[in-house]
Amino acid sequence: MVKFALRLEARPTPSRLMSWLSPVLAVLLTVLCGALLFVALGHDPLAGLAVFFVEPLRDAHGWSELGIKVAPLLLIAVGLAICFRANIYNIGAEGQLTLGAICGGAAALYLDDGVGGATVIGVSLLAGMAGGMAWAGLVAWLRDRYNASEILVSLMLVYIAQLLLSYLVYGVLRDPEGFNFPQSKLLSDGLLLPMVISDTRLHVGIIFALLASLGGWLYLSRSISGFRLRVGGMAPAAARYAGFSSRKTLWSSLLICGALSGLAGACEVLGPMGQLTPTVSPGYGFAAIIVAFVGRLHPVGVLFSSFVMALFYIGGELAQSRLGLPSAITGVFQGILLFALLACDVLIQYKLRWRKHG
| pLDDT score, position 17 | 80
For residue 63, what are the contacts with CB-CB under 8 A and spacing of at least 6?
56, 57
Q: Is the dihedral of CA 30, 32, 33, 35 positive or negative?
A: positive
Q: Give pLDDT tens digits for 150-162.
A: 999 999 999 999 9
- Answer whether residue 356 shows pLDDT above 70: no
Listed residue (136, 189, 192) closest to 161, CA to CA? 136
Instruction: Answer whether residue 195 shows pLDDT above 80.
Output: yes
Is the model's pLDDT at 358 over the cut of 70?
no
Residue 6 has pLDDT above 80, yes or no: no
- What local confidence, expressed as pLDDT, does residue 357 receive? 62
Enumerate long-range contacts of 168-175, CB under 8 Å, 24 or more apart. 168/102, 168/106, 168/276, 169/276, 169/277, 169/278, 170/278, 173/105, 173/106, 173/109, 173/276, 175/275
Q: Is the pLDDT reported for residue 2 higher than 60?
A: no
Confidence bin at 167 (pLDDT 50/70/90): very high
For 87-122, how does the pLDDT look when each residue is reduced to its tens digit (9 = 90+)?
Answer: 899 999 999 999 999 999 999 999 887 777 889 999
Mean pLDDT across 181-192: 89
With 0-12 / 13-18 / 19 or more C-beta atoms within 10 angstroms meaning exposed / middle / buried, residue 13 is exposed
pLDDT digits (tens, 9 = 90+) for 246-261: 888 899 999 999 999 9
The pLDDT score that the predictor gives to residue 16 is 80
- Paired with 10 in beta bridges are 350
Residues 6+ apart with CB under 8 A from 172: none
Find out whether 106 and 181 touch, Cβ atoms under 8 Å.
no
The answer to whether the beta carbons of residues 74 and 205 sit under 8 Å apart is no
9-18 confidence digits (pLDDT tens)? 778 887 788 8
Q: What is the largest CA-CA distance in the chain?
A: 83
Q: Could you tell me which residue, 68 or 11, shows the higher pLDDT?
A: 68
Instruction: Report whether pLDDT(324) > 90.
Output: no
Q: Is there a contact between 127 and 106 (Cβ–Cβ < 8 Å)?
A: yes
> 147 or 233: which carries more pLDDT confidence?
147
- Kindly state the percentage of the chain with pLDDT values over 70: 98
- Predicted model pTM: 0.92
Confidence of residue 270 (pLDDT cuts 50, 70, 90): very high
Q: Comparing 234 with 87, which gets the higher pLDDT? A: 87
Q: Quick one: which of 100, 157, 145 has its CA closest to 276?
A: 100
